[in-house]
Amino acid sequence: MWDAISEKLQDAEKIVFVTGAGISQESGIPTFRGKEGLWRKYDPMQLATIDAFYQDPKLVWEWYEERRRNILDAKPNPGHLAIAELGKYKNVHVLTQNIDSLHQRAGSKNVYELHGSIITIKCTVCSFKDKITTGFSQLPPLCKCGNMLRPDVVWFGEALPQDVWEHAMKQASTCDIMIVVGTSLAVSPANLLPVYAKQNGATMVEANTDPTPMSDIMDISLRESAASALPRLVNIVSG
């Protein structure tokens, strides 16, 4: 299996990673659908929809503030660092469902955040958007225009940012290798990205501890964690 990966990696010019919560779990960030997932402790429909936000914005903000503190305390793990290192040798793009920005903190350059970022806020009415640098004196926080601010993340029922999605489709459709890491591929439309790559004739690789609904279309399946499998990819291309 590793011999096949080695040959493909050496020949590839463009590699696209599709990453999910599994890669960040190894940095201490809980997943949503795993055995200890956040969805098992909270009802997502009370926390991650625009209706829930307007019904109880303080509750939603308290939950996101707790998540944000946890994320800011986390550090990129060997999986994140390996993807960034691989970018020194190949044309690497990262299409991530994660909102933690750990790929950027690890040093990856071409990162497309499909579901937004928890460290960014935006106004519910005007065009204001900014990074969060400190905590808030009140929850929910208010914009200068007087309306509520919200986390700049994609909630259930909301469309992905159109520009980010268009870039993601383009990268998926033009890669030589797609490596799917730490995602159940259960969320649409992100789970279409492997289909676009497959249609383009890309070599499909998954690094996941458990099978996914798309394991059948993979050319190579590594039943390992990202922190275990991905550093070996760097060793292959770095010689």
- Tell me which amino acid residue 38 is: L
How many Cα atoms within 13 Å fall on the side-chain side of residue 233?
A: 35
Residues marked as catalytic = 115
pLDDT at 146 over 90: yes
Q: What average pLDDT does the chain have?
A: 92
| pLDDT value of residue 32 | 58
pLDDT in tens, 173-183: 999 999 999 99
Q: Which residues define the annotated binding site for Zn(2+)?
A: 123, 126, 143, 145
Q: What's the predicted TM-score (pTM) here?
A: 0.93
Q: Which residues define the annotated binding site for NAD(+)?
A: 97-100, 182-184, 208-210, 226
- The answer to whether 124 and 146 have CB atoms below 8 angstroms apart is no
Domains, the chain: 1-27+76-115+160-239 (3.40.50.1220), 30-73+116-153 (3.30.1600.10)
Give percent of the chain above pLDDT 70.
94
pLDDT in tens, 197-238: 999 999 999 999 989 888 999 999 999 999 999 999 999 998
| pLDDT value of residue 86 | 97
Q: What's the rounded Cα separation, in Å, for the pair 82 and 173?
A: 23
pLDDT in tens, 27-84: 998 765 555 555 556 666 678 899 999 999 999 998 899 889 989 999 999 999 999 9
* DSSP collapsed to 3 states, 135-164: CCCCCCCECCCCCEEEEEECCCCCCCCHHH
Angle at the Cα of 114 from the Cα atoms of 57 and 29, rounded to 5 degrees: 65
- Mean pLDDT, residues 21-31: 88
- Mean pLDDT, residues 124-129: 97
Q: Which residues define the annotated binding site for substrate?
A: 64, 67
pLDDT at 145 over 80: yes
Q: Which residues define the annotated binding site?
A: 64, 67, 97-100, 123, 126, 143, 145, 182-184, 208-210, 226
| pLDDT value of residue 31 | 67
Q: Which residue has the higher pLDDT, 43 or 94?
A: 94
